[in-house]
């Protein structure tokens, strides 16, 4: 396989990785930007999704659908419970400490259950083949994931920017008291945002487990990269910005590693520093103000 073909296949892998990060980061952006909660247990939600996929899938599309539905149910309930837990906490520092602790506990439980090994769920048999891309076999499942994540991004953009739900969401963020006065419950909308954000993380785990296999430390990896995507995307829940930032990070983590192996991580760090400097003292908290 030629060098150009190798780059093309790697870039496709970067796209899949980037879209996985997009789904995760979009969920975290909803939680931080709408609920104003610094949820550092977000990586544990992804981990929970991957474990559900491992437990419930048996190589059929039906079992994958069951795993997704189970993940949505568990994540919705967990997100609502987390919302109640966060209410008495004041400021991002307390929230970060509590959610980080929850994340550590979840990771410890996963390590004990899995024995510290990587648990790879089976792909649906119908999506377990390979397609020739630039003379190289590329997993059909990864291509399917790219398509599903792209459709999810389009749906989220339509809902947040071109629907009544999006208008209500922005109203609850911009002026909670006015929203309450007009009959909208800002508290309920914020709780729903946290639940939906958690659902996105768990769903990313269920569908993305074959793309980024669950194992020790994967929760910290996806949390860190999701935070980086949020910083690069800027304030608010802007789907286009999140998508561009996530795909850029995915490309740096894949294509950048084989092109400039010693500079890939450094360039990602430089991008984060530049974004923080440009936004001044607001930093990550700027995400919570739009």
In the block, residue with structure tokens 């979009």: 26
What is residue 208's predicted lDDT score, i.e. its pLDDT? 93
* Tokens found for residue 67: 């795993």
* CA distances, 78 to each of 74, 81, 148 (Å): 6, 5, 24
285 pLDDT band, cuts 50/70/90, is: very low
Residue 70 has pLDDT above 50, yes or no: yes
What is residue 258's predicted lDDT score, i.e. its pLDDT? 76
What is residue 164's predicted lDDT score, i.e. its pLDDT? 83
Residue 280 has pLDDT above 80, yes or no: no
Average pLDDT, the chain: 84
What is residue 25's predicted lDDT score, i.e. its pLDDT? 94
Residue of 63, 42, 87 lying closest to 227 (CA atoms): 42
Contact (CB, 8 A) for 253 and 10: no
Contact (CB, 8 A) for 134 and 5: yes
Residue of 174, 166, 279 lying closest to 230 (CA atoms): 279
E strand or H helix that includes residue 132 = strand 130-133
pLDDT tens sequence across 163-185: 888 877 777 666 667 666 666 77
pLDDT tens sequence across 184-211: 777 787 788 888 999 999 999 999 988 8
Percent of the chain at pLDDT > 90 equals: 37
* CA distances, 35 to each of 27, 42, 85 (Å): 11, 14, 12
What is residue 151's predicted lDDT score, i.e. its pLDDT? 95
53 pLDDT band, cuts 50/70/90, is: very high
What is residue 176's predicted lDDT score, i.e. its pLDDT? 67
The distance between the two most distant Cα atoms of the chain, rounded to a whole number of Å, is: 64
Looking at per-residue pLDDT, the higher value among 181 and 20 belongs to 20
Pure H helices in the chain:
3-33, 42-56, 61-86, 91-114, 140-161, 164-174, 176-181, 186-208, 218-233, 239-259, 264-278
What's the whole-model pTM score? Answer: 0.88
- Of 101-105, 112-116, 174-178, highest mean pLDDT: 101-105
pLDDT tens sequence across 210-259: 888 777 788 999 999 999 999 888 877 788 999 999 999 998 888 877 77
For residues 162 and 91, what is the distance between their CA atoms, to the nearest angstrom?
31
Mean of the pLDDT values across residues 62-82?
92
What is residue 288's predicted lDDT score, i.e. its pLDDT? 44
What is residue 284's predicted lDDT score, i.e. its pLDDT? 47
For residues 63 and 125, what is the distance between their CA atoms, to the nearest angstrom?
11
Mean of the pLDDT values across residues 84-95?
84
Instruction: List beta partners, residue 139.
Output: 130
* Tokens found for residue 141: 């499942």
Residue 18 has pLDDT above 50, yes or no: yes
Q: Which residues contact 89 (CB under 8 A, 6 or more apart)?
A: 95, 98
What is residue 179's predicted lDDT score, i.e. its pLDDT? 64
Percent of the chain at pLDDT > 70 equals: 89
What is residue 84's predicted lDDT score, i.e. its pLDDT? 85
pLDDT tens sequence across 118-167: 888 889 989 988 888 777 788 899 999 999 999 999 999 998 888 888 87
2 pLDDT band, cuts 50/70/90, is: low
Return the DSSP state at 280: G
């Amino acid at each position: 396989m030629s060098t150009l073909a190798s780059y093309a296949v790697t870039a496709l892998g970067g796209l899949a990785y980037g879209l996985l990060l997009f789904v995760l980061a979009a969920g975290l952006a909803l939680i931080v930007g709408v609920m104003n909660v610094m949820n550092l247990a977000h990586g544990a939600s992804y981990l929970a999704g991957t474990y559900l996929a491992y437990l419930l899938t048996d190589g059929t599309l039906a079992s994958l659908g069951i795993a997704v539905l189970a993940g949505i149910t568990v994540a919705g309930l967990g997100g609502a419970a987390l919302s109640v837990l966060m209410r008495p906490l004041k400021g991002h520092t307390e929230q970060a400490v509590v959610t980080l602790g929850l994340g550590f506990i979840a990771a410890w439980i996963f390590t004990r259950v899995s024995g510290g090994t990587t648990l790879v769920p089976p792909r649906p048999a119908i999506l377990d083949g390979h397609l020739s891309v630039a003379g190289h076999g590329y997993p059909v499942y990864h291509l399917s994931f790219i398509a599903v994540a792209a459709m999810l991004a389009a749906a989220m953009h339509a809902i947040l920017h071109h629907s009544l739900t999006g208008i209500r969401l922005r109203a609850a963020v911009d002026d909670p008291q006015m929203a309450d006065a007009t009959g909208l419950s800002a508290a309920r909308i914020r709780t729903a945002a946290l639940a939906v954000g958690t659902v996105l993380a768990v769903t990313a785990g269920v569908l993305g487990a074959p793309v980024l296999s669950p194992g020790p430390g994967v929760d910290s990896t996806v949390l860190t990269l999701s935070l980086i995507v949020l910083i690069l995307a800027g304030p608010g829940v802007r789907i286009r910005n999140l998508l561009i930032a996530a795909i850029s990070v995915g490309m740096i983590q894949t294509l950048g590693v084989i092109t400039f192996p010693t500079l890939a991580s450094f360039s990602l760090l430089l991008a984060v520093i530049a974004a923080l400097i440009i936004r001044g003292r607001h930093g990550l908290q700027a995400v919570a103000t739009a």
